[in-house]
């Protein structure tokens, strides 16, 4: 008798994956509802939670199979790499937008200072007259 059959590890692993999928699904939806997460990130996490949920269900249904386990690990790694790539591209895009906004704010502050100096000069000229 195999130790995995004795402990029924794959069933519990599948249950854990289903639970984690449900928790991630609910947490990402609640964070989006509270405006703590953007809709693009929410969609990524919802898709990841659904994938984890489906993989957990299939693991419960099929039990232990070496080829299936290799397939599950490959799919999960591919999904995680995809999420990391999408997240890093979104973060880098946002960093470029923040940099551009900082430059615009600096230019507006400089323009504001020059306008204030011109107003002060005009006020001084009016006082002198």
Residue found under tokens 């590890």: 9
Residue 128 lies in a domain: no
Residue 122 lies in a domain: no
9/20 Cα distance (integer angstroms): 16
Residue 80 lies in a domain: yes
pTM above 0.85, yes or no: no
86/72 Cα distance (integer angstroms): 21
Residue 78 has a pLDDT of 80
Residue 89 lies in a domain: yes
Residue 7 has a pLDDT of 54
Residue 61 lies in a domain: yes
Residue 62 lies in a domain: yes
Mean pLDDT per 10-residue section of the chain, whose length is 129 residues: 60 85 91 85 85 83 70 76 79 89 96 94 84
Residue 64 has a pLDDT of 64
Domain that holds residue 33: 3-93
């Amino acid at each position: 008798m195999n130790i995995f059959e004795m402990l029924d590890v794959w069933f519990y692993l599948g249950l854990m994956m289903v639970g984690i999928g449900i928790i991630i699904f609910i947490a990402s939806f609640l964070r989006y509802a509270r405006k703590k997460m953007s809709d693009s990130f929410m969609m990524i996490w919802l898709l990841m939670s659904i994938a984890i949920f489906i993989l957990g269900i299939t693991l419960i249904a099929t039990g232990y199979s070496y080829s299936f386990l290799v397939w599950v690990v490959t799919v999960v790694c591919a999904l995680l790499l995809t999420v990391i790539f999408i997240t890093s591209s979104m973060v880098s895009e946002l960093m470029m937008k923040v940099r551009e906004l900082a430059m615009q704010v600096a230019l507006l502050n400089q323009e504001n200072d020059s306008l204030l100096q011109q107003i002060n000069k005009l006020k001084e000229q009016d006082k002198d007259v």
